[in-house]
Copies of this chain bind each other. A is one copy, B any other.
Amino acid sequence: MNSPSFNIAAVERDTGLSKDVLRMWERRYGFPVPNRDGNGERSYPPEQVERLRLIKRLMDAGHRPGKLIATPAEELSALAPRRSAPNTVIRDAGASGELDELLALIKQHDGSAYLQAMQQLLARQGLQQFIQDTVAPLTRHVGEAWEAGSLEVFEEHLFTELTKRLLRQAISTLPGGKRKPRIVLTSVPDEPHVLGLLMAEALLALEGAECIPLGTQMPLFEIGRAAEAHRADIVALSFSAAFPQRRIPGLLQQLSVLLPATSELWAGGGGVTRVAKMAGVVLLPTLDDAVSAIAGWRATHP
């Protein structure tokens, strides 16, 4: 019964901290201090991995590693989220009781009750309202709960998986076929979040666009090729709020070079709220923006 231990690659996988960072922290801060196996290679005991995971979580919430590592163990109380500025309260004001109820079903791990409640809401509100007033605020809500540490990883996965299904099911009932504009929907590598993409797809399809969903994490080269092959009028990318904002301008820059001249580039999602305007790229921080952008496109492409 050897207690399990983790090599550096396993720790990178489980914590999301790169090997470079793990070695650098050890050098700089004296934590983590893994054992060494027969080949002199790092071998992390589970407690240290657990602590690293906690630290990473708090870092994602806006804390700084130097402080966190210095804190002994009562950091558990430092769970207070920092980034969650109470700014984007747009449509869901007052309804957060309802959101809390939905979230509670997830936390009770009752998937079928959650699905049922959501399907009821969809039937009552209609797809557009359902997305804008329920799914979008709920997704934000979940993101905040996650940052605050009040949601387990697997609970977030369950939420995402079930909500994906709801949206895809709703999309499949919409008319398909050749319509205008033709929009390729995807996300860049390192951006695995798909819910924003699905919400956008549903709204755009409702507006009469032909959506070509390519899933997440397309290499930039391939996005260019796909736009060409599908003769896309628009390439729409989704960036979640968790995506590092500083990387976005560079990615959009590179991509705009790779796209055919006939394709527009749209970038939406919580990740682009604070990105500066760029030539050749349309920024759509909210779902409303996406809807009105379609109207704009129609006006200029008779």
In the complex, the answer to whether B154 meets A13 with C-beta atoms within 8 Å is: no
In the complex, the answer to whether A152 meets B112 with C-beta atoms within 8 Å is: no
Looking at A30-38, A210-218, A292-300, the stretch in contact with chain B turns out to be: A210-218
Nearest CB of chain B from residue A104's CB, rounded to whole Å: 14
One of B109, B213, B226 near A229 (C-beta < 8 A): B109
Known: A115-B176, A176-B115. A221 touches B157 (CB 8 A): no
A-B CB contact pairs (8 Å), 12 listed: A13-B189, A109-B230, A153-B222, A153-B225, A155-B229, A157-B215, A157-B218, A157-B222, A158-B213, A160-B215, A165-B168, A168-B168
Interface residue? A219 (CB, 8 A): yes
Chain B minimum-CB-distance residue to A2? B257
In the complex, the answer to whether A13 meets B190 with C-beta atoms within 8 Å is: yes
Inter-chain contacts of A155 with B (CB < 8 A): 229
Oligomeric state, in copies: 2
Nearest CB of chain B from residue A78's CB, rounded to whole Å: 21
CA–CA, A50 and B221, complex, Å = 9
In the complex, the answer to whether B14 meets A154 with C-beta atoms within 8 Å is: no
Contact with B along A179-204 (1 / 0, CB 8 A): 00000001001101000000000000
In the complex, the answer to whether A14 meets B214 with C-beta atoms within 8 Å is: no
